[in-house]
Amino acid sequence: MTTRVMVDDLRAFCIEALCRAGAKRTHAETVADVLVMTDTWGTFTHGTKLLRDYVKRVRAGGLRSDTEPAVVSSGPAWAIVDGGSCLGHVTSVFAMQQAIERARKTGIAYVGVRNSCHFGGAGYYAWLAAKEGLIGVSMANDIPSVAAAGSRRSVTGSNPLAYAVPTGADPLLLDIASSTVAGGKVYAAFQRGEPIPNNWILDEEGHPSTDSSLYPAKAALTPLANHKGYGIALLIETLSGLLTGAQITWQVGSWIWGDATQPTGHGAAFIAIDIAAMGPRDVFESRINGLIREIHESPAADGVEKVLIPHEREWNLRRHALVHGIELPSDVAGKLSGLAEDIGLRPDWLPHCH
């Protein structure tokens, strides 16, 4: 059972919900853009499903509505941004725009963020750079939910990493957690009453489990490919947390389960690289499109129609969604229905509340 909604209707609902909670309209529009784009990609774990919990924090004051992100220190190719504990999406868009502007002058720029909050899907911010013709990289830390290689309990966040590269058409884009899967996937399986593969989580004894109900209180996510994901998570913690003055590991507040009146202190990092600074744009585009052709023409494995480039499937889903609407899975529609009830909204596309 899915719920179909047109992109404009979903966006308007997000904006209205955030504004009723007290968010500035400009902030609400930014958050809506991030969440709806993420849903058009079919990445429902990180789209509007999260809105109800953001709204709760805005109403409680842990996400502030009276602040704006600001550069607190900077040099030629870097800046540190203080998010003022406003919505993490707003701070992240601001930070990536700073990175893009600086990279246009210097070739590459790093912008680190502190006093932010959960920013949704990392891929959106990387895409902001690619849309402007730059290579974008985005990442963030979070509360510990992932075991280290050899640990029994959570040590790092499921720290996401995304990049996007312009191609002249759909950007090449990757958005991954440094855990085997994002916690949201375990949680979604639990909500749908489904078991999970035995390599996604470790129970309190540090043993693999297929019981999605254990997460997060009594289980840790496994790190992606063991020591490799653990190491990637620590690079993200370094660039997002240690270097920015943000909170790290257990100092970070849980944006879902923590006290909604208090800031979470998340960190994040954004890097932009200006392709045009380093050579003719058309040469780069010709080369990357040659690479994409080569991949498309490579022989596919049994049962696979065609070898795709990263995010190709998601761009196709988005094209379809822009014309025909998004088919929201039941867990997403359920969260939105609950939110609609919280704030007294009744959009006609949304089934009645759970």
Binding to a copy of itself in span 107-136, by CB under 8 A: 107-110, 112, 135
Q: With CB under 8 A as the contact rule, which of the stretches 46-54, 60-68, 185-193, 232-240 interacts with a copy of itself? A: 232-240
Residues making up the chain, counted from first to last = 354
25 or 281: CB nearest a copy of itself: 281
Residue 1, Cβ density class (10 Å: 0-12 exposed, 13-18 middle, ≥19 buried): exposed
The nearest distance, CB 83 to a copy of itself, in angstroms, is 16
Establish if 176 lies at the interface with a copy of itself (CB under 8 A). yes
Q: Which of 71, 278, 322, 353 touches a copy of itself by CB under 8 A? A: 278
Establish if 206 lies at the interface with a copy of itself (CB under 8 A). yes
What are the b/e assignments for 128-155, b being 16+ CB within 10 Å? Answer: bbbebbbbbbbbbbbbbbbbbeebeebb
Binding to a copy of itself, residues 20-59 (CB under 8 A) = none
Query: 237 and 141 in contact (C-beta within 8 Å)?
Result: yes
Among this protein's residues, is 118 annotated catalytic? yes
Point out which residues pair with 78 in neighbouring strands.
Answer: 75, 110
The nearest distance, CB 50 to a copy of itself, in angstroms, is 22
* Cα-Cα-Cα-Cα dihedral sign, residues 138, 140, 145, 147: positive
DSSP at 353: P
Q: Which of 25, 66, 70, 105 touches a copy of itself by CB under 8 A? A: 105
- Please tell me which residue in 27, 46, 118, 266 is annotated as part of the active site: 118
Quickly list DSSP for 24-56: -HHHHHHHHHHHHHHHHTT-GGGSGGGHHHHHH
Q: With CB under 8 A as the contact rule, which of the stretches 141-149, 184-192, 330-338, 344-352 interacts with a copy of itself? A: 141-149
32 or 130: CB nearest a copy of itself: 130
Catalytic sites, residue numbers: 118
